[in-house]
Amino acid sequence: MNCSISFQNQPILPSPTVRFLGVLLDPRLSGQAHMSFIIDKGRRTLQIIQALRGTWWGAHPHMLLTIYRALLRASIEYSSHIFSLTQNSLSRALQIVQNQALRLCFGYRISTPLNVIYVETVELTLSFRFRLLTSRYFLKISSVRNHIVIDKLHLLYDTAAETNRTDYLHAHFPAAIIFNHIWTSYHSSIDCSFTLPNFRSSFRSTTISSPYTSLSLPSVDLTNFFPIPPAQSFFNQELQYLTSDSVLFYTDGSKVDHSSYVGAAVFSPQLEAELSWSSDFRHTPRFFPRKHTPFIQLLL
């Protein structure tokens, strides 16, 4: 059917998507338009991280990780409980964007396992992250009585259950399944109220504080009964036990001032040997990091 709409003699052309509260909605509410937009935005953010990482002074990994969380992860998490819980090609492409961002932030190689990356960056995979945020949101609104979202979710799940369409929720809106599990498992033990817990008491009760001098102090020093062993001596004993039959080599390497030379040194207390040298890292192969230079020279 062809139709034309005009307003003040200006034609209004049809659009395949519309933006509402920062979310791109398509006619079928599949979320493909919104997720495709987030993927394109994420790839542009990767270029920013790569540009900062490629500066001559270098960027700290944790600073790059903060940039990733502010620019990319915040955009990915927005409306994630609506569209991003479903597993499809777009969700896998979004996961690849996150993996690339974490590799750039910490300088990981392409061969570094993903489980190592997630542990060292303290990041969850997107699927676990989305389920965590969704569960937190449902637990929060479950503590508020007569919340409008609770009523709508109950109506949605009950309608799907009565018509044997719960498989449709699994495929298109898994958040409703998560909500039903949280409601049936934890609602009885959740403290519910009409207001936030912070406003149940008077304002004066939140401003009164007792001075520290009025608190009773113990009459004896408890540290005499619970001596704390010095950590340094314990470390020395363990190190001596582990290296009693070994030859130790201490290595280090770093740039010399702001020049292009790298200084490196090797020291062995058992052999009473000490080596030091400098080299131009511009002529060093890229697959040998500067910190590994002493190990390479030691093997040679």
pLDDT digits (tens, 9 = 90+) for 239-272: 788 777 888 888 777 765 556 666 778 888 877 8
Residues whose CB falls within 8 Å of the CB of residue 109, separated by 6 or more in sequence, listed in order: 103
What average pLDDT does this structure show over 160-183?
A: 83
Taking residue 291's Cβ as centre, other Cβ atoms within 10 Å add up to 13
pLDDT band with cut points at 50, 70 and 90 for residue 274: confident
Amino acid letter for position 227 = P
Residue 145 has which token pair?
């009585």
pLDDT of residue 283: 53
pLDDT of residue 211: 59
pLDDT of residue 75: 87
For residues 16 and 32, give the distance between their C-alpha atoms in angstroms, rounded to a whole number: 12
**Strand 250-255 relative to strand 261-268: parallel, antiparallel, unpaired?**
antiparallel
pLDDT of residue 1: 53
From first CA to last CA, the distance across the chain in angstroms is: 79
Query: CB–CB of 192/144 below 8 Å?
Result: yes
Query: CB–CB of 98/76 below 8 Å?
Result: yes
Per-chain mean pLDDT for the chain = 77
Q: pLDDT tens for residues 194-247?
A: 766 666 666 666 666 655 555 455 555 555 555 556 777 777 788 788 777 888
Whether residue 42 has pLDDT greater than 60: yes
The domain ranges of the chain are 12-123, 138-189
pLDDT of residue 247: 82
pLDDT of residue 286: 42
Strand-pairing partners, residue 263, are 254, 278
| Axis crossing angle, helix 126-142 with helix 174-186, rounded to the nearest 10 | 50
Backbone φ and ψ for 123, nearest 5 degrees, come out as: -125, 145
Amino acid letter for position 110 = I
For residue 248, give the nearest of 265, 269, 266 by alpha carbon.
Answer: 269
Amino acid letter for position 236 = N
Whether residue 292 has pLDDT greater than 70: no
Residue 66 has which token pair?
């903060």
Whether residue 289 has pLDDT greater than 50: no
Taking residue 243's Cβ as centre, other Cβ atoms within 10 Å add up to 11
What average pLDDT does this structure show over 87-114?
A: 88
For residues 292 and 264, give the distance between their C-alpha atoms in angstroms, rounded to a whole number: 9
pLDDT band with cut points at 50, 70 and 90 for residue 99: very high
For residues 250 and 237, give the distance between their C-alpha atoms in angstroms, rounded to a whole number: 18
Give this prediction's pTM: 0.58
pLDDT of residue 266: 82
Query: Burial level of 211, CB count in 10 A (0-12/13-18/19+)?
Result: exposed
